[in-house]
Structure 1
Amino acid sequence: MSRAYLFPGQGSQAVGMGKELAAAFAAARHLFQEVDDALSQKLSTLMFEGPESDLTLTENAQPALMAASVAVVRVLEKEFGVDLAAKGSYAAGHSLGEYSALCAMGALSVADTARLLKLRGQSMQKAVPVGEGAMAALLGAELDLAKEVVAEAAQGDVLGCANDNGGGQVVISGKKEAVERAIEVAKTKGVKRGMLLPVSAPFHCAMMQPAADAMAEALGKVTMNVPKLPVVSNVTAKGESNPDDIRRLLVEQVTGLVRWRESMLWLKQQGVAQVAELGSGKVLAGLMKRIDKDVEPLSIGQPAELEAFAKSLS
């Protein structure tokens, strides 16, 4: 069976993430220590114990979600002897999850990935003063309809589609006033519901250009290897393996649309029949159910789930 590994994005964090893995497996403990050392921060304590308000800060949530995902990978490989690359065809990650996927597939070191995501979170937060930007989910809208809403509501302000998540869920991002106008415009166009999201900055829109510049500089200084499996880019919605292309696309990703629905449909076209979400939460498995019911979605984050998954691969 052809399978792809999926890595969650922001919003999937939860206090307690990774705690059971660390209690059960030395490989997970070593991974969390590696991330703590790279950041000179007890991120693992924040993951296991909270407080939630600190964990949800973008600069903490991004490396924490990566750590939880890569810990799952390490345990499967070292404790269960699973060669994930040999048992899979592609990897994909939602926004910051693309970094987790690249790390899991050996394109980036754990330490570099942790530091890149810390910087990504900090620079995204700093790019726009609090209160000036916003994001909203348009529920019951496909991308074309969301683009119509954006075109009508922008009125010269920054406003764009940030995430095409699939299953009738598109997230828009931009100037707060423009996002609020878009929610009103959406009501007139048959969108089921428009709701402001509890985020601290307007991700994946042109207001994030300062963060994209910071990431371009940082990515230019790290070693990027060819990943063991092609990693689907959020920007191109297809598998990428060339390190120079991956660097460039990670920079574009900061201000660009996360083409998640198209990415999942591309995997289906390549013959992928199963997607395994590795890490915290079940968001991506849930989206897959709505995007294409023919692809089997799994969520693998707890020790029992890892054990069952490893057995299914043997």
Structure 2
Amino acid sequence: MASSAIRFKAELLSTFVSKQVAAAGLGVKAGKRPLLVSMQGPQGSGKSTLAAEMVKVLADEHGLKCAVASMDDFYLTYAGLKAVASANPNNSLLSGRGPPGTHDLPLLSSTLARLRDGPAPSQTNPLHIPTFDKSQNEGYGERSTVTEDITAPIDVFVLEGWSLGFAPVDADTLRERWADGRVASRHPIESLQTLDTNLAETERSTGDKFDCHIAIRPISYDFVYDWRLQAEHNMKAKNGGKGMTDDVVRAFVDRYMPVYEVFGEGLPERQALVLTFDKNREVVDPSVDEGA
């Protein structure tokens, strides 16, 4: 059973989502396509746990069937990731999976298009959601041959990711945030400019397919270090101590931090529920941004 804190947050999300379904006249009962929701939250924020609990609340309290997928499962193949790294030899941020530019946008776009335009998933014509095996190729990863299949019509589809919904910024803003960023400034500004271009391409390919957005925002992105350390310590406590050292975990988060520092305040141009978290992952400010 989920904790009361997780349940409270899941109910906030579910109320927002159910209102969006009703307002748009979408879902199975209306004979229409599902509501498509993008969901962003940093590593360690608990977004995957929260999304899973939201599925239960939507079913139990609103009678809505929801499916959840992760941007992580839409990474490029191993060969594709290596090609990105080779094409950007001076950009260490693109040396492996994670940042904008390392996802298979055509595959993601076609998946979202199927959900929007049909045909609806069924037992005889399921929608295949890819999965990504992060353990392959010495941790570099590879797309799995196993898929997660949606085999019946759904009311809501949620895609969650750590940078999903971040928006590109203008040149002056990028330069200012890059210079001020504790971690971003360690990288050439050209590296962040490339990620800005990649973010713009992600939004062009997928943004107009989503109906609304959910964002989990920490008061400070520095919380991500502690959250990721907590997750690693919990895992090591259960598996006999196997995992990354604290220094390796911090270096791992460092690779993502430039994106948070430069692009982390952006929201997509669609209605968004923003949950601001304190260091203990408690909600201090739920708010709705109406978008463009």
Tell me, yes or no, whether TM beats 0.5: no
The TM-score by the shorter chain falls in which range? under 0.3
TM-score (norm 2): 0.27
